[in-house]
Structure formats: structure tokens, C-alpha cells
Chain A
Amino acid sequence: MHVLLIEDDELVGSGIRSGLEIAGFTVDWVGTAADARLSLAGLASDVVVLDLGLPDADGLTLLRDWRAQGQTVPVLVLTARDAVADRVAGLQTGADDYLLKPFDLDELGARLQALLRRAAGRASPVIEHGGLRVDPGNRRVWRDQHEIELTRREFMLLEKLLHARGGIVSVEQLNDSLYGLDSPVESNAVNVHVHHLRRKLGSTLVRTVRGLGYRLGAADAGGDAGTP
């Protein structure tokens, strides 16, 4: 899943990015509110981590603007200010969660997973889809009680499709989720991962919607997956 990290402190930002990448997120990191606006306008981010003390604008202003524009992406606010008034202001402005610095990397990862889960309308941390069981927090997949090994990108692809709950996910959105802004993407990179996922989890799991993208199919074998 794609995380847009907005943090102006060099050391903190680099640490969070590396930590979230280890936890299996695709992270794009920007240091200013202006860059954040551009990134969120151009990227299909699944969740935003927002530091409130930004050099060019207050983080809450940014958040208020986004919510006013109808932006529904879940936002986790990071701040070093612990006054209750600050926290209340953050949540009232439209933040979905609030984490006080310094925090634990595991906690940040878990909270982001929880935000994604709530955004997809799920209550359980483990996703069941037919004979498929997926644990995004620990990045493990079982098919009919047998654990399947997936690569990092394959898992991201599966996670994104599950998150869309059968909705169509465009190739651009998949690119954003898998690679973010910085990684140069070969035109057929997503196709390759889709191909591998079908081979490991069954050909019907990923359905191609011509000209639009992909969507989640039945987890059981059988039926035509179409040509990617």
C-alpha cells in the first residue's frame, strides 16, 4: 500500500521511510506542504502520515484544505506537541489517528494497517477471500491452509486488490502502490507481477478489465482469467 509521508525533519523522515518500507509499505516522502499538495494530487496514496510542523504551512491547514476538497484518504497525524488541545484540534480537523513523537515503528505500522482496514470497512486484521487468507500486518498468505510465499511486490499487488474489495484498480494506481513516485516503472512491470500472482494463487484471482485495469476475482481455481 502506498504511504505519503510528509515530514520536514531530515533524520526523522529518513527513519520513518526506511521503517515503513521494511514493514511492506511503498513510501513517498516530501518535506513541504507544497510538495505534499502536488503529491497527493498526482498519486493514488492509500494513507497519509502528516507531521504538523511543516516549514511552509501548518499541517492542520493542509489537512483542512484536503478535507474541504473532499479528499477521503486516511490521515495519521504525527506531532511532538502533546497538549490535549493540539490533539483535539488535529482530530477535529479531519485526522483519523494521532501519534505522539517519539513513537515506536511497529506501532506506526500497526496503526497504518488499522487505518487501511477501517478505510476498506473491515474489522478483522486477517482478510479471508474464498480459500485465501491474508495477514497484511505480518505479510503472510495461506491458500487452503497452505502458506504461499509471495515477493514484496506480489504481496503489495494482492493487498491493493483486496483493499479495493472487487472494485477496479487501474494500472496507474497499482504502479503508485507498488513503486510510488521515485521508482522508474517499466511499462509491463505490473503485468509481470499479475502473472506471477495468478500462477501462485490461481488464475481466477486477478481479473483483467480491458482498458481500465484489474479487479479481484474468485479465489478458487477454474474459469478464464483473460489475457493481461
Chain B
Amino acid sequence: MSLRRRLLLILGVSFCVLWALAAAWLYSDLRDQMRATLDQRLAASARMVAGLIAQLPEDAWNQAGAPVLSTPQSTGVACQISSSRGQVLMRTHGRLAGELDTPAPGFTDRVIDGQRWRLFTFVQNGLHITTADRLAERAALQRNVIVVAVVPFVVALLGSLIALWLGIRRGLGPLARLHAELSRRDPDMLTPVEIGDAPAELRPAIDTLNALLLRTGEALTREQRFTSDAAHELRTPLTAIKTHVQLASRLPTDQAGDALASAEAGIARLQRTLEQLLTLARIEAGSPISETESVASAQIVAAALADLPARERVEVHAPARESLEVALPRELAAAALRNLLENALRHTPDGAAVELTVCAQPERVLFNVSDRGDWPPTQSTQQLTQRFWRQRHSAGHVQGSGLGLTIVAAIAARFGGSLELQPREGGGLAACFAVPRVSPV
């Protein structure tokens, strides 16, 4: 059920019930009041007649053989005066002859001639003064009063229902616009939602939604770019392999060797890219890597250098006696350091040395790798660690997978460390890979 319908139903039903209760209350109150008022009128009439009679001489009634006064049938209050012996001295409403006789003092109801009457009898000096009026007349009067009271009441009720409907419709307008806007949109549409004058209650929801859309859009763009980049990175070595394998089959046997060697180089590159991609996926997906491991910095350096080509070009400066434990699994720490060293070597002209310095801080251990390589001077850490960013260089250079620094940054981020890349004075790059230190207990 829609919000508007629900509100209309709840408020409308409550309105009607409350107004109906109020009306019932009013009606019963009004009825009692009218009955009391009309009874009072009967009693007051009787007393007034009694007051008038008291002014007459005692023997005024003695000559009267028949009723003194008799008026024709009419509406309104009827009156009869009779002696204690039951003789009617005076009456209005001639047709009521005998019917008003000998009632008990006070109020009584009686049916006369098929009509219901209310009677009041007052006794004074042996005279019975009876006044009466018709209940039907009372009911008609009561109906008139109620009609006069109820019509504005009902009009007001209808008016408030209409006002309620309009108010809800208008008040919920922004919600309706939001609904229309959202149902109009393509599911893939990631542009911000805008519905004009959003009320304060809705603003946070819309802002949150828009922020979410923005983030989703960015993540989607990033993923699309990554997929596209990954496709490019995997297809290029695959192309090299396929082309050279085809070449090998077309060339004379003695020349086919070169083509096969090139194909093999392509396979090696493909393998490296795949492995790096898988490593990155594992680190970023947070798949189970033992988090509690720790390893000595010397072991990391040894593992990183173990299978590094051209490791003789790396100058290591590390504190020999001190054991620096870092909170990082050994394989990942070595992989990160190895990636840094490989990058430095790749960008450094043949023969030039690359420096690796290990130093300790109270909380962290820093692995500094400095080279004199041909890095572009203005690249930021963020750019250099972008997936598949790689330096565009002249042909003939050995290319990396474009994932090395990304992996180092991902490892650092996963284990609470950091990676900072700074251009060096006089050319080259200084990479600082900082990891949390396990304090010696």
C-alpha cells in the first residue's frame, strides 16, 4: 500500500471516528437539554396559571357549571384547571375533554387520541392545574435543531477530509517525484538523482543515494578500465607468441629458432603478467594470508635478492647485528621488496648500482630503494602505483608487467604499511617501503 494511501486511510478513518463520537455526544446532550428545557416550560406555564388563579376571588369558580374557557384544537401547550372533586373549571383544547383528568401531580406521559403527550400537574389550594404538550412536536423541534447543528458539522468534516487529501498529496509531492525519477531511470544510469525542492527529511537519503551512485560509477569506471587494461596486457604477449609460432612454421628450419625464442620470451612475459595479476587479486581480495606471521628483515632481504637477476648491482646497507622483526608474511614482504628492486634495476642504465637501505624506527622498519634511473621527474606515488602504468620508453627496453608498484602498494596497504616514491635530486627515484615493526618483547 502506498504511503499516501496509508496516510489517507489512517487520518481519514481517525477523523471520521472522532467526529462521529463528537456528533453522538452532541446529539445526546442536545436531546437531554431540550427535554429538560421543554419540561421546564410546561412547569413554568402551570405555575404561571396557578399564580393568575390565586388572584381571582374564591367563589369565582362556584358559578361555573361548564368549563369556563374552551379554545379550539391548536398546537402548543394545552392547559386544564380542575377542582379537587374532579370538576373541570377551565381548559384549552376542547377536544381533550376528560382526557386530562386526574393525573398525579408532577410529570407523566399519556397517549391521547393516538398521540403521545407529556403532562405536568400542579396542585394549589385544591385546584389541579395540568399543562401538556405533544411529544411529536418536541421531536420535530429537536429534529430542526439537529439539522441546523449538523449541516455545518458535516460540511466541516467533508472540508477537512478534502484538506487532508490535498495536504497529504502536496506534502508527499517530493516523494512522488523521487519515485517517478527513480522509476524513469535506466538501471545502469549512474547520474545523480535530483528532484528539486527536496524536504529536509528526504535530503539525507538523496544525498546518500547520490554519493553511492557516484562511488559506484567510479568503481565501475575503474573496473572497466582495469578489465580493458588487463585484456590489453594479456593479449599483447599472446599476440607475440602466436605471431612468432606462426612465423616459426613458415620459416626454414634453420631460421625458425629465433622465432621460437621470441615466442618463448612472449610466454615468459605472459606468465609474469598472469602471476602478478593473481598476486594482486589475492592481496586485494583479502583471501587467507596468515596475518600473524612475522619475519626478520635480514630474511626478507635475502629472499628478495635470492632469485633477482643482476643482484650484484644491488648495494645493501642493513644493520647487521640488530634483528628487526616485521609483521608481514615472508613471501609477500620479499615479493614487495623484489618488485621495488626489479623496478629500480629496470630503470637504471646497465652497470649502475641500486641502493637498498634497511633502517629501523620505533614503530616501523623502512626499506629504502634508491636508483639513478630514467624516471619521469613529475610522477606522483599515486600515478606510479596505478595498475598497468608503465613508463613509455624507447624500443629495446625490457618492459615490466606494469603491476609491480601496484602490488607493493597493495601489500603495504594490506598490512598497515606505506609506500612512498620520491624523485631524487639529480635524477632517479627513492622508494620507501615502510612496514610495521614487531617490537622486541
Q: Do the beta carbons of B246 and A104 come within 8 Å of each other?
A: yes
**B238 part of interface (Cβ distance < 8 Å):** yes
**B243 part of interface (Cβ distance < 8 Å):** yes
**Neighbouring B residues of A32 by C-beta, 8 Å:** 394-395
Most buried by A among B232, B240, B250, B393: B240
**Neighbouring B residues of A83 by C-beta, 8 Å:** 228
Question: Please, how many angstroms separate the alpha-carbon atoms of A132 and B239 in the complex?
Answer: 38
Contact A15 B244, CB 8 Å, known A31-B395, A101-B236: yes
Minimum distance in angstroms from B383 CB to a CB of chain A: 16
Q: Do the beta carbons of A80 and B235 come within 8 Å of each other?
A: yes
**Beta-carbon contacts under 8 Å, A7-27 to B:** 8-16, 18-19, 22
Q: Do the beta carbons of A14 and B262 come within 8 Å of each other?
A: yes
**A81 part of interface (Cβ distance < 8 Å):** yes
Minimum distance in angstroms from A27 CB to a CB of chain B: 13
**B242 part of interface (Cβ distance < 8 Å):** yes
Question: Please, how many angstroms separate the alpha-carbon atoms of A103 and B241 in the complex?
Answer: 11
Majority secondary structure of chain B interface residues (helix, strand, loop or mixed): helix
Contact A101 B238, CB 8 Å, known A15-B247, A81-B228, A83-B228: yes
Minimum distance in angstroms from B208 CB to a CB of chain A: 31
**Neighbouring A residues of B232 by C-beta, 8 Å:** 53, 80-81
In the complex, which of the residues B228, B237, B251, B265 contacts A22, with contact meaning CB atoms closer than 8 Å? B251
Minimum distance in angstroms from B441 CB to a CB of chain A: 52
Q: Do the beta carbons of B394 and A12 come within 8 Å of each other?
A: no
**Beta-carbon contacts under 8 Å, B388-412 to A:** 392-396, 399
**B259 part of interface (Cβ distance < 8 Å):** yes
**Neighbouring B residues of A103 by C-beta, 8 Å:** 239, 242
**Neighbouring B residues of A15 by C-beta, 8 Å:** 239-240, 243-244, 247, 259, 262
**Neighbouring B residues of A186 by C-beta, 8 Å:** none
**Beta-carbon contacts under 8 Å, B218-257 to A:** 228, 231-233, 235-244, 246-247, 250-251
Closest to A11 in B: B240
**A185 part of interface (Cβ distance < 8 Å):** no
Closest to A35 in B: B395
Q: Do the beta carbons of B395 and A102 come within 8 Å of each other?
A: no
**B364 part of interface (Cβ distance < 8 Å):** no
Q: Do the beta carbons of B395 and A12 come within 8 Å of each other?
A: no
Question: Please, how many angstroms separate the alpha-carbon atoms of A11 and B242 in the complex?
Answer: 11
**Neighbouring A residues of B239 by C-beta, 8 Å:** 9, 12, 15, 80, 101-103
**Neighbouring A residues of B236 by C-beta, 8 Å:** 9, 12, 80, 101
**A224 part of interface (Cβ distance < 8 Å):** no
Contact A10 B395, CB 8 Å, known A82-B231, A102-B239: yes
Question: Please, how many angstroms separate the alpha-carbon atoms of A103 and B239 in the complex?
Answer: 7
**Neighbouring B residues of A13 by C-beta, 8 Å:** 395
**Neighbouring B residues of A9 by C-beta, 8 Å:** 236, 239-240
**Beta-carbon contacts under 8 Å, A79-109 to B:** 80-83, 100-106
Question: Please, how many angstroms separate the alpha-carbon atoms of A82 and B392 in the complex?
Answer: 22
Question: Please, how many angstroms separate the alpha-carbon atoms of A82 and B194 in the complex?
Answer: 35
Q: Do the beta carbons of A101 and B235 come within 8 Å of each other?
A: yes
Question: Please, how many angstroms separate the alpha-carbon atoms of A15 and B399 in the complex?
Answer: 17
**A interface residues, Cβ below 8 angstroms from B:** 8-16, 18-19, 22, 31-32, 53, 55-56, 80-83, 100-106
Q: Shortest 3 CB-CB distances between A and B: which pairs?
A: A15-B243, A55-B392, A11-B240
**B interface residues, Cβ below 8 angstroms from A:** 228, 231-233, 235-244, 246-247, 250-251, 259, 262, 265-266, 269, 392-396, 399
Contacts A/B (CB < 8 Å), 11 sampled? A11-B244, A12-B240, A18-B251, A22-B251, A32-B394, A80-B233, A81-B232, A83-B228, A102-B235, A103-B242, A105-B250
Known contacts A22-B247, A100-B235; 8 further A-B pairs (Cβ under 8 A): A10-B396, A12-B240, A18-B247, A22-B250, A32-B395, A82-B231, A83-B228, A102-B243
